[in-house]
Chains A and B, each alone.
Chain A
Amino acid sequence: MYSKGLKPLSLATVVTLATAMALVFFYAPLDADQGFVQKIFYVHVPMAIVALCGFVAGGIMAIRHLRSGDASWDLRSYVAIHISIILGVGVLVTGSIWAKASWGHWWVWDEPVLVSFLVVFLLYCVYYPLRFSIEDSERQARYSSVFAIVAGAFVPLNFAAVRLAESYTHPRVLSQTGGSLPGDMRLTFLVSLLAMALLFVTLWKLELTAKHASMQLKRLRRRLHARVAA
């Protein structure tokens, strides 16, 4: 059920990723201020955007779960959040490398996107202990969905707050994600963003397929053993 279109999707992902990396290293011009280090921007920022959208999408799927009572929406929500957290690790690691290369420290508080992402990441890490400490499976799904909705609403609020605070104490030093990118950089960025989005959807479908298959297997095994016992 979930694996429909997985092959072409994976292919599209790999092609777009390869294209993006080719553009990054052979097409996009060298940044005047940051030099070669700026290339990290093309992997760090798309990953952050896709991860955050993934969290919000997880919240929306959770709303559908609560409204319909259909457990498959909870599964979709869980996987979306799971993959966003994994991408989140990537965001923090690449962000840290970028910070070290740009400012000489492995962490900086000046970048509101990175700082805000850290808070969001810390929050979503609690999803697992919360989910798996509830034993009843229907309640587990319900409470996870509530969390996903609250956390999803929290993401934009947190970004606004951190941005407000940072602009107050540290006037914006960089406006990398601003719309003021020259044309060839913008193209490279958009292709990278597309590649990252395709990657997310592919991994999401892949994980969903695996989980679904695993659940069906358990069900089959139980039925088989019940029949044998009878």
Chain B
Amino acid sequence: MIRATGAILRKDLLLELRTKESVPAMTLFTITVYVLFHFGLDRDSLDGEIASGVLWVTLLLAAVIGVTRLFAAEREQGGLDALLLAPVDRTALFLAKAGALFLFLVAVEVVAVPAFGLLLLGPGLGGTLPELLLVLLLANVGIASVGALVSALAAETRARELIVPLLLLPLMVPLLIASAQATEPFLRQDQAPEDLGRWLGLLTLYDVVFVLLSVAVFDYLLED
């Protein structure tokens, strides 16, 4: 199964490298939204709660774009039927898709987080960087698993582009709560992690629940 996962994952990553469809779009989207927030909030610099909120809401909205496109290649070129006919373990398919989405998110954040620091953030990012990276990592796991699940759930519907955001965003509310609350102290003038354990705990719980749930339920999706 590990081999199957690796194979599908490699195919998706190569496809993305070649076509450059999801990651650049998601990255461009986040930077554009930062600019929108500058005009919308009429602020030159943000800190604390508002900064944390803007950072995370933007990331989640960008994730919606990635999720909508996650099974796009299979749908458009009919690869989905081929995948399903081959004796591929559904769990491998899920792990590969979630893994791909995870890596896409990391790639986006490599640009988007420094861009946020440059464009909108008042205090610097440096002080609590390791903790911030930990929060981002845990959050990405959550977004990737829920995203892969929602993408598969919406894969067969006609109204895919509408269903994905409507499903994904409420499901990510606990993740948003934990991530924004955890990040908020990092983005204050006096940077110091506060109550981090509680929010990391919630994030981890969320990740565990959704990974297990998705693996359990993925067998019933994309069947034929």
Q: Which residues of A contact B (CB under 8 A)?
A: 66, 119-120, 122-123, 125-126, 129-130, 133-135, 139, 142-143, 145-147, 149-150, 153-154, 157-158, 160-162, 164-165, 168
* 27 A-B pairs with C-beta separation under 8 A: A119-B170, A123-B167, A123-B171, A125-B166, A129-B163, A129-B166, A130-B167, A133-B157, A133-B158, A133-B159, A135-B158, A149-B213, A149-B217, A150-B149, A150-B217, A153-B213, A154-B171, A157-B205, A160-B174, A160-B202, A161-B174, A161-B202, A162-B174, A162-B177, A164-B177, A165-B181, A168-B181
Answer whether A153 and B209 are a contact pair too, CB < 8 Å, given A119-B170, A139-B156: yes
A146 to chain B, nearest CB (A): 5
For B198, what are the chain A residues with a Cβ–Cβ distance below 8 Å?
164
A13 to chain B, nearest CB (A): 31
Interface presence of B206 (CB below 8 A):
yes
For B223, what are the chain A residues with a Cβ–Cβ distance below 8 Å?
142
- Where chain B touches its partner, the secondary structure class is helix
Answer whether A157 and B209 are a contact pair too, CB < 8 Å, given A142-B220, A145-B220: yes
* Identity of the chain A residue whose Cβ is nearest the Cβ of B195 in the assembled complex: A168
Answer whether A146 and B177 are a contact pair too, CB < 8 Å, given A123-B167, A129-B159, A130-B153: no
B156 to chain A, nearest CB (A): 6
- Cα separation A66 to B153 with both chains bound (whole Å): 15
* Identity of the chain B residue whose Cβ is nearest the Cβ of A149 in the assembled complex: B217
Interface presence of B154 (CB below 8 A):
yes
- Cα separation A168 to B149 with both chains bound (whole Å): 30
B222 to chain A, nearest CB (A): 10
- What does the 1/0 interface line of B115-143 toward A look like (CB < 8 Å)? 00000000000000000000000000000
Across the A-B interface, give the 8 residue pairs with the lowest CB-CB distance, nearest first. A161-B174, A123-B170, A133-B157, A126-B166, A133-B159, A165-B177, A161-B177, A122-B170
Query: Contact residue range for chain B?
Result: 20 to 34
Interface presence of B28 (CB below 8 A):
no
B149–A143 contact, CB under 8 A?
no
- Where chain A touches its partner, the secondary structure class is helix
Q: Please report which residues of chain B, range 139-177, place their CB below 8 angstroms from some CB of chain A when the two chains form the complex.
A: 149, 153-154, 156-159, 162-163, 166-167, 170-171, 173-174, 177
A147–B153 contact, CB under 8 A?
yes
For A165, what are the chain B residues with a Cβ–Cβ distance below 8 Å?
177, 181
- Cα separation A120 to B170 with both chains bound (whole Å): 7
- What does the 1/0 interface line of B186-212 toward A look like (CB < 8 Å)? 000000000100100010011001000
A66–B220 contact, CB under 8 A?
yes
- Cα separation A66 to B173 with both chains bound (whole Å): 27
* Identity of the chain A residue whose Cβ is nearest the Cβ of B206 in the assembled complex: A157
B60 to chain A, nearest CB (A): 14
One of B156, B181, B202 near A134 (C-beta < 8 A) = B156
A118 to chain B, nearest CB (A): 9
- Cα separation A164 to B195 with both chains bound (whole Å): 12
- Cα separation A66 to B149 with both chains bound (whole Å): 17
For B163, what are the chain A residues with a Cβ–Cβ distance below 8 Å?
126, 129-130, 133
- Cα separation A158 to B170 with both chains bound (whole Å): 9
* Identity of the chain A residue whose Cβ is nearest the Cβ of B219 in the assembled complex: A66
For B156, what are the chain A residues with a Cβ–Cβ distance below 8 Å?
134, 139, 143
* Identity of the chain A residue whose Cβ is nearest the Cβ of B146 in the assembled complex: A150
A84 to chain B, nearest CB (A): 15
- Cα separation A142 to B167 with both chains bound (whole Å): 17
List 12 additional contacts besides A125-B166, A133-B163, A164-B202; criterion CB under 8 Å: A66-B220, A119-B170, A129-B162, A130-B157, A133-B159, A134-B156, A147-B167, A149-B213, A150-B153, A157-B205, A160-B174, A162-B177
